Amino acid sequence: MKSNGSSEVPEGAKGVLECLRSKRQFVMCAHEKPDGDVLGSGFALGIALKSLGKGVVYFLDDDVPNNLRFLPESDLPQRTFQGVADDAIFVFMDMSDQWRAGKALEWVPRERIINIDHHLGNQRFGRWNYVMESEAATGSIVLGLVVALGVSVTPDIATCLLTALISDTGCFMYSNADPHTVRLGASLMEAGADKDRINEQLYQTRTFSGQKVLGRALDTAMLTDDGICYSVVTRAMLAEFGAAYEDLEDVVGALRAVDKCEVSALLKEAPDGAFRVSMRSRGRVNVMAAAALLGGGGHFRAAGATVAGPLDAALAALLAAIRVEMAAEARAGQ
């Protein structure tokens, strides 16, 4: 199966492919709070490399979220570097800078890093960098690599990669799902990906406590006159319902669905008292740029950052950043 209509290998891929072919062991690395794109991409490439006789270690300083435990290989990630060879290559995927991988991977030197990503403003932090900002998911890029490596796309690989695509496109609903992305999805279904199971897990299965927190977050949401719909989930709220951080996936999307909302934002209090912020745009305002003002990043319509507490200060900084970009959009539209 080809990843797209042509058998040409895109420019940035050459070095990465050469490295994948010539080195013998790889450590798959995910960003913090891993999602379907980063885990699906990592497991798919891991399976492909193992089929070529390579050593593969999945390093994850987090738990695999419950709704992604159906993924092949999802019981294999380890929190230590046990078994990692001195010359192992670290494959960082789905992140624009190395620090998104968390403290445990800060020590990894550039010379040992492959960076495969689709975020705007990727820092090219690896020795080998393959970044395609036009792709909806890192999984699309990985599909091209798997095919170029000459590995056949097995049902397991296809399920991992379709999970990546479905996660980052909201089941092909968001604007990043263009005809190319949908075609890749179709080819993955033809290769045996279990689309129904993926959607059931990602979009139709929620914990009871997670639904309760969603209800509270919607109940306490605010809508500003200029179209910012935001809410806050504190550690106390999570504790009250016995909910987990991963239960909050849908909240920011539900806030954006409000008809008068241009930008939605959710502040999630982290264990250290800082706030992880998620932002979504209806399409006019660049929330990636707003996130960048706060030291984060992402995509035009979906972005995030971590902002220091206390809550009042974090909220003020967040609203100010969004309004900078709203003003920029208003100027551009004049």
Nearer to ligand AMP, 156 or 269 (CB): 269
Contact call for residues 252 and 237 (beta carbons, < 8 A): no
- Rounded CA-CA distance 77/57 in Å is 7
Contacts for 322 with CB less than 8 Å, ≥ 6 apart: 228, 263, 265, 279, 285, 287, 290
What track of x and - describes contact with ligand AMP for positions 92 through 131 (by CB under 6 A)?
--------x-------------------------------
- Contact between 302 and ligand AMP by CB under 6 A: the answer reads yes
Q: Provide the total of helices (H) and of strands (E) in the chain, helices listed first.
A: 11, 11
- Contact between 35 and Mn ion by CB under 5 A: the answer reads yes
Among 28-36, 223-231, 253-261, 320-328, the segment contacting Mn ion (CB under 5 A): 28-36
- Contact between 263 and Mn ion by CB under 5 A: the answer reads no
- Contact between 40 and ligand AMP by CB under 6 A: the answer reads no
Q: How far is the CB of 304 from ligand AMP (least distance, A)?
A: 2
- Contact between 47 and ligand AMP by CB under 6 A: the answer reads no
What track of x and - describes contact with ligand AMP for positions 246 through 285 (by CB under 6 A)?
--------------------------------x-------
Nearer to ligand AMP, 65 or 148 (CB): 65
Cα torsion 88, 63, 47, 201 to 10°: value is -160
Q: How far is the CB of 233 from ligand AMP (least distance, A)?
A: 13
C-alpha to C-alpha distances, 181 to 5, 161, 263, nearest whole angstrom: 12, 12, 25
Amino acid occupying residue 137: A
CB atoms within 10 A of CB 148: 20
Can you tell me which of 135, 168, 247, 325 binds Mn ion, judged by CB under 5 A? 168
Burial annotation 158-196 (CB, 10 A radius, 16+ → b, else e): bbbbbbbbbbbbeeeebebbeeebeebbebbeebebbbe
Nearer to Mn ion, 94 or 249 (CB): 94
Question: What residues pair up with 297 in beta bridges, in sequence order?
Answer: 304
Q: How far is the CB of 48 from ligand AMP (least distance, A)?
A: 23
The site partner of 141 among Mn ion, ligand AMP, none (C-beta below 5 to 8 Å per kind) is none
The alpha helices in the chain, defined as continuous H runs, are 13-22, 36-51, 138-148, 155-169, 179-190, 195-203, 208-219, 235-241, 251-256, 287-293, 311-333
- Rounded CA-CA distance 321/317 in Å is 6
Q: How far is the CB of 298 from ligand AMP (least distance, A)?
A: 3
- Tokens for 288, please give them: 């990636």
Nearer to ligand AMP, 73 or 168 (CB): 168
Among 36-44, 83-91, 126-134, 280-288, the segment contacting Mn ion (CB under 5 A): 36-44
Question: What residues pair up with 267 in beta bridges, in sequence order?
Answer: 232, 277
Can you tell me which of 159, 263, 296, 318 binds ligand AMP, judged by CB under 6 A? 296
Q: How far is the CB of 256 from ligand AMP (least distance, A)?
A: 11
List of residues contacting Mn ion (CB under 5 A): 35, 37-38, 94, 138, 168
List of residues contacting ligand AMP (CB under 6 A): 100, 278, 296-299, 302-306
